[in-house]
Structure 1
Amino acid sequence: MEETAPERDTAQAGTGSAAGRAAEPLLELSGLEKHFPITSGLVFKRQAGRVHAVDGIDLTVHAGETLGLVGESGCGKSTTGRLVARLLEPTGGSIRYGGRDITHASRRELRPIRAEIQMIFQDPYSSLNPRHTVGGIIRGPMEINGIDPPGGRDRRVRELLEIVGLNPEHYNRFPHEFSGGQRQRIGVARALALDPRLIVADEPVSALDVSIQAQVVNLLQRLQRELGIAFLFIAHDLAVVRHFSQRVAVMYLGKIVEIADRDSLYERPRHPYTHALLSAVPEVGLESAPGTGPRERIRLAGDVPSPIAPPSGCRFRTRCWKAQEKCAAEEPPLVRLEGNREGHLTACHFPEAPTVHGRDVVLDPALA
Structure 2
Amino acid sequence: MSAEKTLSEPAATATAPGTPLLEVSGLTKHFPVMGGFPFRRQVGAVQAVDDVSFSVAAGESLGLVGESGCGKSTTGRLITRLYEPTAGSVKYLGQEIAHASRKELAPIRSEIQMIFQDPYSSLNPRHTVGTIITGPMEINNINPAGGREARVKELLEIVGLNPEHYNRFPHEFSGGQRQRIGVARALALNPKLIVADEPVSALDVSIQAQVVNLLQKLQRELGIAFVFIAHDLSIVRHFSQRVAVMYLGKIVEIADRESLYARPRHPYTHALLSAAPDADPDNVSAERIRLVGDVPSPLNPPSGCRFRTRCWKAQDKCATEEPPLVQITGSTDGHLTACHFPEEKDVVAAAPAAPASAELPEQRATKTL
TM, length-normalised to structure 1 = 0.87
Give the corresponding residue for 1:324.
315
SS in 1 for 2:26: strand
**Correspondence for 2:126:** 131
Q: Distance in 2 between matches of 1:29 and 1:163?
A: 31
Aligned to 1:345: 336
AA aligned to 2:94 is: G
Q: Is the 8 A contact 2:246 2:253 kept in 1?
A: yes
Q: Which residue of 2 aligns with 1:14?
A: none
> Cα deviations across residues 233-287 of structure 1 (Å, max 9, x unaligned)?
0111111111111100000001100001011111110000000010000121385
Distance 1:217 1:176 in 2: 24
Q: Report what 2:293 is aligned to.
A: 302
**Cα separation, 2, equivalents of 1:23 and 1:183:** 38
Task: Say which structure, 1 or 2, has more relative contact order (CA 8 Å, 6+ apart).
Answer: 1
Structure 1 segment 204-243 matched on structure 2, within 5 A: 204-243=199-238
1:188 and 2:183 correspond: yes
RMSD: 1.6
Given that 2:179 and 2:202 are in contact with CA atoms closer than 8 Å, whether structure 1 keeps it comes out as no
- Contact in 2 for aligned 1:268/1:354 (Cα 8 Å): yes
The equivalent position to 2:172 in structure 1, one of 163, 177, 180, is: 177
* Gapped regions of structure 2 (runs ≥ 5): 1-16, 351-369
Residue 261 of structure 2 corresponds to which residue in structure 1? 266
> How much does 1:324 deviate?
0.6
Does the CA-based 8 Å contact 1:26-1:61 persist in structure 2?
yes
Deviation of residue 157 (structure 1)? 1.3
Flag the 1:351–1:358 CA change in 2: closer, same or farther, 3 A. farther
Distance (Å, rounded) in 2 between the aligned partners of 1:172 and 1:141: 17
The separation in 1 between residues aligned to 2:187 and 2:301, in whole angstroms, is: 39
Change (3 A) 1:87 1:103: same
| 1:37-76 equivalent positions in 2, closer than 5 A | 37-76=32-71
Counterparts of 2:37 and 2:231, CA distance in 1: 37
Residue identity opposite 1:355 in structure 2: D
The percent of aligned pairs where both chains have the same amino acid is: 77
SS in 2 for 1:54: strand
Report the Cα offset of residue 333 of structure 1.
0.4
Contact persistence 2:161–2:177 (CA under 8 A): yes
Match of 1:34 in 2: 29
Query: Mind listing any 5+ residue stretches in structure 1 that lack a counterpart?
Result: 1-21, 360-368
> Which of 58, 69, 94 matches 1:99?
94
Segments ≥4 residues shifted beyond 4 Å: none
Q: Distance in 2 between matches of 1:301 and 1:157?
A: 48
Q: Which residue of 2 aligns with 1:9?
A: none
The alpha-carbon deviation at position 181 of structure 1 amounts to: 2.3
Aligned partner letter, 1:305? P
SS in 2 for 1:322: coil
Query: Deviation of residue 114 (structure 1)?
Result: 1.2
User: Hey, what does 2:347 align to over in structure 1?
Assistant: 356
Distance 1:61 1:121 in 2: 20
Q: Distance in 2 between matches of 1:208 and 1:229?
A: 22
Q: What is the distance in 1 between the residues matched to 2:281 and 2:27?
A: 38
8 Å CA contact 1:287–1:295 kept in 2: the answer is no
Write the mapping of 1:75-94 to structure 2, written as runs, cut at 5 A: 75-94=70-89
C-alpha separation in 2, matches of 1:218 and 1:286: 27
CA separation in 2, counterparts of 1:188 and 1:260? 27
> Equivalent residue of 2:118, what SS?
coil
Secondary structure of 1:207's match?
A: coil
Tell me the number of residue pairs that the alignment of Structure 1 and Structure 2 aligns: 334
- Alignment deviations for residues 74-130 of structure 1 (CA, whole Å, 9 cap, x no partner): 100000000000000000010000111011100111112111000001111221112
Query: Contact 1:181 / 1:216 at 8 angstroms: preserved in 2?
Result: no
TM superposition shift of 1:227: 1.4
Are 1:281 and 2:272 an aligned pair? no
Cα distance in structure 1, aligned partners of 2:107 and 2:51 = 27
Q: Is the 8 A contact 2:129 2:169 kept in 1?
A: yes
2:147 alignment counterpart: 152
Deviates more, 1:83-92 or 1:235-244: 235-244
Return the alpha-carbon distance in structure 2 between the equivalents of residues 180 and 48 of structure 1. Answer: 39
